[in-house]
Structure 1
Amino acid sequence: MVHGRTAVDHFPTPPHRPNPGAPASCQGRHRALCDFAWFRGDSGDPAELVTEFLSANGLPVRDLRRTGRQVRPFGPGGICGAALYVSPDAGSVMAGGPVGAPTPVPRIPDVYAVVFAHDDAGGPGAGVPVERSGGTPLSVGPWRDSWTPAAHAAAVDRARDAIARGDVYQVNVVGHASAPYTGDPGPALGRVAALAGARYGGVLAGPGWAMATASPETLVEVRGGRVITRPIKGTRPATAAGRRELLASAKERAEHVMIVDLERNDLARLPGIGPVRVDELFAVRHWSGLWQAESVVSAPLTGPLDLASLLRAVCPGGSVTGAPKLAALAEIARLEPVGRGVSMGALGWVGTDRVDLGLTIRTVAADGERLHLWAGGGITWDSDPAAEVAEAAAKAAPLRAALARGSG
């Protein structure tokens, strides 16, 4: 059985920055019990290994119909749940697809889980332990991009060529940027997690690294006997004109519907699932100065379903890969010069009552030496390369601003 390691003191809880997806009522009450890590290149099936780890530590992940039932308390306090992170590389392995370029944050595991118990007296939780330098104010150096705007536009053209050949219908193209830093990144990561519209705003950290997400997108949720995904695809500035333009864009709607169909297929191939339905289509939501189009797709749980099967079906998320998913992963591996690191993966909560994983868009990482962020967008035949470059910059801008605020 996989029990993981005993959690140690590199898990201080940051004030008001819970694990993404964790119950709000449990803020400040978590005590880390043990953790699990799997890296790209490790042996074994990461979906099965993390499921075994969570099951061995008291969470009902072998049959997700059991979520919501009473679970045996773990240790002196009742078990609350676990933070769970899955990188896009691990998701590709789970899906049986190719992995891309090497990650720029190799010290961060590709699958990471921390089991927590309740501790009303307070105690160590998951936090921001990244070489705080005694609380020294953060200073961020110049950003270095993985490609120039011209190279990004050329990658969009190559993606359009693949669509013209019939290799894919749509493919996401994502760029990376990093900057050196000194001092304590904790407050800056907290600002990222607090960005407006962050449904999964929070921080997860391990020895010498941390990630913060302001993601508005649900990769997958299991709650109340249903499996739910909320794909986001389509972006415009958060102005009245931007909203009208998004709603009127045939290109954005076609791209969005294509991903909704992919997500429907992902859910439909799960065991123990009833009819898949689209509960809401192309609803316009707000995220930190941008309008984005979101749909809601769900299906009832009608039979046994384990976490490993769920992860294999939905990872990596279709809205950040493209369609068909495996062909899109092959194009991503060919086009992107730097790995996606902690972005475009999954981060959230596995509890006794639910599973709730956000897609790690709008996510940054600190590895003790550099800050890292990623941004991109979905490419179709109708995509304009210059517009795609501008859209990625618009998505990255709030993250860069949050990290820079207060920097010396």
Structure 2
Amino acid sequence: MRKNEPTGVETLPPGVIDVPATPDACRGRLVERARLEWRCGDGGDPAALAQDFLTGHGVAVADLGRPARHDPDGVCGAALYLSAAAGALLAGAAPAAATPVPALPDLVVVVYGHTDRPGPRAADPRRPAAGPRAVAGRPDAAAPRWWLGSWRESWTPAQHADAVEAVRAAIGRGDVYQVNLVGHAAAPYAGDPLAALARLGALPGARYGGTLSGLDWAIGCASPETLIEVDGGRLVTRPIKGTRPATAAGRRELLASAKERAEHVMIVDLERNDLARVARTGSVRVDELFAVRRWCDLWQAESTVSAAAADGLGLADLLRAVCPGGSVTGAPKLAALDRIAALEPVGRGASMGAFGWVGAGRIDLGLTIRTAAADAGRLHVWAGGGITWGSDPEAEVAEAAAKAAPVRALLAAG
């Protein structure tokens, strides 16, 4: 575990904070005050650690239903990132495969204060190192321009299809109803990875576009999906499940698909149950069901589920209730996590976790789908989809590739 306290950090030149859901009025005048980084091997409860750290630095998260005031001159709030592996730990699941990005922590909390010294993006000594040694064999390796090598998949299309069939067999035995399978790919790079990752926020539909970086790691997010939002004591989640090409025919096909609707409703029910654990009795409701919205060149089905926060609800209990997100695990959640641990060849790294902003009276965390990460030598991407009894293996492989394609294309851009 690593903590950076204000001494020294405060003197870093201020840059534009790109964390998803950062208050617009505060962008350009925020400076890092303190940082917590934790990994699953460190031991302890990441949800409790996050709440205690934030409370200790003046961010009120012990009672999310209590009114709180934003201080324009003091602490603004904090970035919060929680990995899928940390979420599985909170849920009591068995450990999954090792992460392909060991430099990346499983919990990051960065507290920001206001400064009167707005300025352009500053060089950050915590960015991943990049250089010719990471790209042996590349011509003109000393050139500082951006370069991205070939992607190497963590499994072949045939292995992915076999995993889909294994889930279908588990459903046939009654072990699970649905499992979300995720694949991974990595590519070598040279240049500034944070600049490349920051481009992801410009993708159409990237509600949680933004970046976060540390020593030899960085995350870039283009997620459209709300894991949990808290505002004025109201809890909101917006699960996404169901995908088609963003054409008129694709929209009609998605709306007419009994398979996609059944898969979607199953996850909505799971999210309703998750919120009910931390909500006032009888307050959970589905505000919108199976609305079709666009992300890049894909249609996706999204619902909105909300509830009133239970009295005294703190951030730690909220994270324990909603992590990992039901739309990227399956149902029942623990049984689905067992299948994921058995079938996925590498860990989910930066993907399928939580990433966003925690501030006074407001929390807005996206689910880290459409998310990439960098370490000192490689970029990493993940993509997948929910598997049900009606899933076609070839179609599931193609859907995962379609979700990853815009992210890969933008990362490759010069």
- Which TM-score band applies after superposition, normalised by the shorter structure? over 0.9
Displacement of 1:266 = 0.3
CA deviations on 1:88-118 (whole Å, 9 max, x unpaired) are 0000111111221000011111000000001
Q: 339, 344, 351: which one pairs with 2:347?
A: 339
Displacement of 1:396 = 0.3
Q: 382, 390, 412: which one pairs with 1:382?
A: 390
Amino acid at match of 2:204: A
Contact conserved, 2:70 with 2:76, CA < 8 A, in 1? no
Contact conserved, 1:285 with 1:291, CA < 8 A, in 2? yes
The aligned runs of 1:5-404 (5 Å cut-off) are: 5-6=4-5, 15=16, 18-66=18-66, 68-70=67-69, 77-122=73-118, 129-131=127-129, 136-270=144-278, 272=280, 274-404=282-412
The CA distance in 1 between the partners of 2:46 and 2:310, in whole Å, is 26
Distance 1:293 1:125, change over 3 A: farther
Displacement of 1:186 = 2.7
Gaps of 5+ in 1: none
Distance 1:237 1:14, change over 3 A: farther
The CA distance in 2 between the partners of 1:35 and 1:125, in whole Å, is 18
Amino acid at match of 1:50: A
The Cα RMSD (Å) is: 2.1
CA deviations on 1:235-273 (whole Å, 9 max, x unpaired) are 001000100000000000000000000000001111556
Distance 1:194 1:140, change over 3 A: same
Displacement of 1:356 = 0.5
Displacement of 1:306 = 0.5
Distance 1:316 1:360, change over 3 A: same
Distance 1:366 1:167, change over 3 A: same
The CA distance in 1 between the partners of 2:219 and 2:21, in whole Å, is 14
The CA distance in 2 between the partners of 1:300 and 1:88, in whole Å, is 25
Displacement of 1:361 = 0.1
Q: TM-score, normalised by structure 1?
A: 0.93
The CA distance in 2 between the partners of 1:14 and 1:373, in whole Å, is 26
The CA distance in 2 between the partners of 1:280 and 1:110, in whole Å, is 32
The CA distance in 2 between the partners of 1:347 and 1:153, in whole Å, is 30
Contact conserved, 2:81 with 2:353, CA < 8 A, in 1? yes
SS of aligned partner of 1:349: strand
Contact conserved, 1:274 with 1:300, CA < 8 A, in 2? no
Distance 1:174 1:126, change over 3 A: farther
Displacement of 1:3 = 10
Contact conserved, 2:228 with 2:322, CA < 8 A, in 1? yes
The CA distance in 2 between the partners of 1:11 and 1:351, in whole Å, is 22
Q: TM-score, normalised by structure 2?
A: 0.92
Distance 1:142 1:270, change over 3 A: same
SS of aligned partner of 2:305: strand
Distance 1:222 1:139, change over 3 A: same
Amino acid at match of 1:131: A
Contact conserved, 1:200 with 1:348, CA < 8 A, in 2? yes
Displacement of 1:52 = 0.5
Other-structure match for 2:137? none
Displacement of 1:20 = 1.0
Displacement of 1:167 = 0.6
Amino acid at match of 2:57: N
SS of aligned partner of 2:203: coil
Displacement of 1:353 = 2.6
Distance 1:208 1:11, change over 3 A: farther
Contact conserved, 1:108 with 1:209, CA < 8 A, in 2? yes
Contact conserved, 1:32 with 1:125, CA < 8 A, in 2? no
Contact conserved, 1:177 with 1:373, CA < 8 A, in 2? yes
Q: How many residue pairs are counted as aligned between the two chains?
A: 400
Contact conserved, 1:272 with 1:304, CA < 8 A, in 2? no
CA deviations on 1:151-207 (whole Å, 9 max, x unpaired) are 100000001111111110000000000001111123311211211100000001111
Amino acid at match of 1:130: P
The CA distance in 2 between the partners of 1:174 and 1:236, in whole Å, is 18
The CA distance in 2 between the partners of 1:367 and 1:11, in whole Å, is 22
Amino acid at match of 2:128: V
Displacement of 1:5 = 2.1
Contact conserved, 2:241 with 2:327, CA < 8 A, in 1? yes
Contact conserved, 1:59 with 1:71, CA < 8 A, in 2? no
Amino acid at match of 1:223: D
SS of aligned partner of 1:358: strand
Q: % of aligned pairs identical?
A: 63
The CA distance in 1 between the partners of 2:146 and 2:380, in whole Å, is 15
